[in-house]
Chain A
Amino acid sequence: MRFVDEYRDKDSAGALLDAIGRATSKSLKFMEVCGSHTVAIFKSGIRDMLPENISLVSGPGCPVCVTSVQDVDRAIAIAGLPGVTLATFGDMVRVPGSESSLQRAKAGGADVKVVYSPFDALTFAQSNPGSNVVFFAAGFETTAPTVAATLSRAVEAGTSNFYVYCVHKTVPDAMRALLDSPDLMIDGFLCPGHVSTIIGTAPYRFIPEVYSKPAVISGFEPLDILQSTLMMVEQIEEGRPEVAVQYLRAVSGEGNPKAVDVMYRFFQPSDSNWRGIGVIPGSGLELRDEYAAHDAMKAFDINTPEPREPRGCSCGDVLRGRITPPQCRLFAKACTPDNPVGACMVSYEGSCAAYFKYGRR
């Protein structure tokens, strides 16, 4: 596959590992924010091949994992409303809410439709004018512009039976919250690749400027991750923390201004509740007032009881990089991919699912 295979070359991987080993003897801990990086790191075996003094810890960059229990409960409630179809990305359907999941609600008769794209939800609404279609809009800055563009098409076409239940979150704000956490000693961040395709480098500048740590935007192939690790190590050794782009083929410094424009035309920043972490101010998106006609929270009467977190679940500590999944007492015992207790095990890109699948021998 073009633009993929070249970044998997074994000899080059060996050379990069050697270079990392020679570059520093310091003990360094880097956080890979993005769930896709966690999986990529496992699949390639990089975690085990890095020199002893360098470690990688997973962060909260899995949008499925950080959607709050209350938001899942509300999505289930929406799906149960008469005349409403809840359209959702497939990876959200097994996430446990307080009592149930979208998948179980669907089995019980709720109208839940899995879609690949928010656009598919819109075309379904247009073909089914008698149904109110609500799109469960989870995801970070990679996804929010696709939902905004879909809303733009809905407005253009005058599709009044299309709504969005917005639970989008923005990644740099969560990174800031992690850096402010007193017990977390992270020496640098491997920044998400495709979030950065949208937002560019500017939103990460606070990391070197305020916290004096490196931030490298990385691709997902083994050579990308290794080169990014080397770049962070070199920045530390040379005392020059900065935001750097390793993933040059997919990220430009300015990001995708068209996508950012449409995202902020429809959404504005809001506080957001990250599952396992709590409310991070300004870390979410909400629909602007002028689009209230498409806002599920305003259009429908959604009442859910006080949310209940699953007992014994340590997802919060895993998402913050405080513990590794095997250190959770439920891991691989009460909590498995077939029977997930917390969101980190449900999502294919959740740390716990990744550790379960790849990290055990």
Chain B
Amino acid sequence: MCVGIPGKVIEVEGRTATVEVGGATRLIALDLLEGVAVGDYVIAHAGFALHKVDEEEAQKTLDIIKEITDLAGGACAL
């Protein structure tokens, strides 16, 4: 029920956004989120946008993981 894959906002009209996820588009209500603009990535659930994906924070997570990966060196037992 909960897994929201981030979708890209391709249109905003009043309280409704058109959001594209993996090639499919859906109308999503914006009642729970302020300041959503075309080009933003949002996490939506049950037809409502809940959160704007923070690109900086997304990169921060990847940077931390990269540090760990670099420390581990090239050879990984996978």
Chain A residues within 8 Å of B, Cβ to Cβ: 1-4, 6-7, 9-19, 34-36, 39-40, 62-64, 89, 91, 116-120, 139-140, 142-143, 145-146, 149, 152-153, 192-195, 197-198, 219-220, 223-224, 227, 230, 246, 248-252, 256, 258-259, 262, 347, 349
Chain B residues near A1: list those with CB within 8 A: 5-6, 22
Question: Is B47's CB under 8 angstroms from A142's CB?
Answer: no
User: Which residues of A are found within 8 Å of B34, using beta-carbon distances?
Assistant: 258
Say which residue of A11, A117, A195 sits within 8 Å of B78 (CB atoms).
A11
Query: In angstroms, how far is the closest chain A Cβ from the Cβ of B4?
Result: 6
Partner of A259, one of B22, B50, B62, B64: B50
Q: How far apart are A299's CB and chain B's nearest CB, in angstroms?
A: 23
B50 partner residues in chain A, CB cutoff 8 A: 142, 145, 194, 197-198, 256, 259
Contacts A11-B69, A249-B54, A249-B57 given; does A4 touch B47 at CB 8 Å: no
Give residues 6-23 of B contacting A (CB, 8 Å): 6, 8, 22
Q: A3-B58, A17-B78 are in contact. List 12 more A-B contacts (CB 8 A).
A: A6-B58, A15-B69, A16-B69, A116-B46, A149-B29, A194-B4, A194-B45, A197-B50, A249-B53, A250-B4, A251-B51, A347-B1
Are the CB atoms of B57 and A117 closer together than 8 Å? no
Give every chain B residue within 8 A of A4 (Cβ-Cβ): 5-6
Partner of B1, one of A10, A143, A258: A143
Tell yes or no: B33 within 8 A of A by CB: yes
B residues lining the A interface (CB < 8 Å): 1-6, 8, 22, 29, 31-34, 41, 43, 45-48, 50-51, 53-55, 57-58, 60-62, 64-66, 68-69, 71-72, 76-78
Give the chain A neighbours of B1 by CB distance below 8 A: 35-36, 62-64, 89, 91, 139, 142-143, 347, 349
Across-interface contacts of A89 in B (CB, < 8 A) = 1, 46
Q: Is the interface of A mostly helix, strand, loop or mixed?
A: helix
Interchain residue pairs with CB less than 8 A apart (18): A4-B5, A10-B78, A12-B68, A15-B69, A16-B65, A16-B68, A35-B1, A36-B1, A40-B3, A139-B46, A146-B48, A194-B3, A246-B61, A249-B54, A249-B55, A250-B51, A250-B54, A256-B51
